[in-house]
Chains A and B, each alone.
Chain A
Amino acid sequence: DTEVTQTPKHLVMGMTNKKSLKCEQHMGHRAMYWYKQKAKKPPELMFVYSYEKLSINESVPSRFSPECPNSSLLNLHLHALQPEDSALYLCASTPVGSSYNSPLHFGNGTRLTVT
């Protein structure tokens, strides 16, 4: 078990649906991350929230919308996704505001299938 909790574990959605992924950590970490991972590929950074402010957006399409309601929670709102968006979505956190000299603590991910 990890200390970063992601829900749901699995999600199937149609291209017209709106859904949200949720991530929670109670370690007092100050940065939270969304990564996308396709099968047999490395995690790709999507967004970073540092001290509850969006600090990095890696040119992610607007159909993905992140939200950080507080320092423990991170959401990823999904709308009008495409089948190629099907992937494992990983949330991670670090104790300080960046991953420099600070390990990423990953959640187990949400496996998303877009039909």
Chain B
Amino acid sequence: QQPVQSPQAVILREGEDAVINCSSSKALYSVHWYRQKHGEAPIFLMILLKGGEQKGHDKISASFNEKKQQSSLYLTASQLSYSGTYFCGTEKGAGNMLTFGGGTRLMVKP
């Protein structure tokens, strides 16, 4: 079953912050986050495993609340390069394959 992402789209000014949410009706083992620019391959951002951990990479971080079956991606002080479509991918068990959410289109303007 496909995870649900919100919002579907967001427009930011450079330097503003954004939060993208990913939720599932099923228990999750892990959550992946990817960014895809138009006409390009999805690029891996981070993986979060069960345990409610948070991860960060530069000004992009994420959390995983397994009780709520939800993950959030935080983009701080957004840059023009952050523009693209963000997909979360969820796995219901070890070895199960990813199911991607519908995506969140992010546009950062100067």
Q: Mark A residues whose CB is within 8 Å of B.
A: 2, 4, 33, 40-45, 48, 56, 90, 97-109
Contacts of B100 in A (CB 8 A): 42-44
B98 A101 Cβ-Cβ under 8 A? no
B97 near A56 (CB under 8 angstroms)?
A: yes
Segment at the interface with A among B13-21, B38-46, B64-72, B73-81: B38-46
14 A-B contacts, Cβ less than 8 Å apart?
A42-B100, A43-B42, A56-B97, A90-B41, A90-B42, A97-B95, A98-B96, A99-B32, A99-B98, A100-B93, A100-B94, A100-B96, A103-B44, A104-B34
Known: A100-B29, A101-B30. A108 touches B41 (CB 8 A): yes
Top 6 closest pairs, chain A to chain B, by CB: A42-B100, A103-B44, A106-B41, A98-B95, A100-B94, A108-B41
When the two chains form their complex, are residues A105 and B97 in contact, meaning their CB atoms are under 8 A apart?
A: no
Given contacts A45-B97, A101-B49, A101-B94, 8 further A-B contacts (CB under 8 A): A42-B2, A42-B87, A45-B99, A90-B41, A99-B97, A100-B93, A104-B98, A106-B42
B95: which of A2, A100, A109 is its contact (CB, 8 Å)? A100
CA distance A31 to B25 in the complex (A): 28
Which of A4, A102, A105, A106 lies at the interface centre, i.e. has the most chain B CB atoms within 10 A of its CB? Answer: A106
